[in-house]
Structure 1
């Protein structure tokens, strides 16, 4: 359709990144807003049922803008998964190398902190571990980080006094049981979306040391030392 004489020219389309019309989700930076939106939608509606359009809308972004931060839904899921293990792995490395605490105290500290991380957010992201899609090669980095975290558990367990007389095969089994106990809070949270995270973290850490064969008097001392160690590491 032609314009009439004297009419104002149509405004030119703006070139560049498309931006949301409203604020980013919950005032977060755009990338963090996408992750927060995806965490909510994946855990509430399911990964398969969630589209990138729905994630972008929940994050307050246009869909095209979201692709400046993530190539697609798998990249978002990968980032969420790695975010559930990397902080615990960083702590595990520090605890393995810590020279002034018993292995029992360091193992207790790792267990408590790991459970607190898995239960601390508003969404049960650990439940995403159970998705069949996570077996794909795209998530190999997540599996490597998780395997390294499990190896740190095994190393701390092997350094406890109770492990000294345990055959290698049984020690491996105990490590699997301890790691399974910690990640088992994911299933507890599916049944009870709002458990008392601090109480669950302490109970899981105590249970992990019992599985390791640590005697009760040693466990009590390890828990006290482990709690103090966490405070020191966080303050530093």
Structure 2
């Protein structure tokens, strides 16, 4: 049995090594689960974020690396059980010159420019907090958005707080800085946005098998150890385990 999984260049979740092999936290989780359900051949297809959902929906590959679950996306693809929960954050220039610590802080700074990958949930989160479309600059690839932060073309790039931490630690704080969003000050504990693998709606057998293994594997010592190699901690794993995996 062969399964092809699509991924994008977005460390620590997925990236391509110098020798052409795919790696990353999401790739490792998929590989582990697929082997456990008896998949003998796993192939990886590098794509762009905007092609993930249309590609799996059209059957160009069998599954996607995890992305945030939304009702709109669930209308076109079938999601697995969630595999991580992660809040948003920004990448900014060193020292965070405009003191940007949340989407609201960008809305309150009309000359601030925010970079977002087209189609990602950060766009809706930003506009819901009052960020205007004029303040948002859309990019196709993460590398282009990061280059725009470095050049000063934009003031912040919005992505996952975890991914931004990994990028900043790799590049060095003298070049770029990761800023975690300030928590909502209403005193309520909230579940962070959840991410899950996605499948063609007709591929029920593969989805069922993957879900069955995920439910028993998520939160296990082996799962936590494998994810820790890529920087994912209990903070990202516990929300999906506590919510039933």
Q: Into which bin does the TM-score normalised by the smaller protein fall?
A: under 0.3
- Structure scoring higher RCO (CA < 8 A, sep ≥ 6) equals 2
Q: If the length of structure 1 is used for normalisation, what is the TM-score?
A: 0.27
The structure that is strand-richer by fraction is: 2
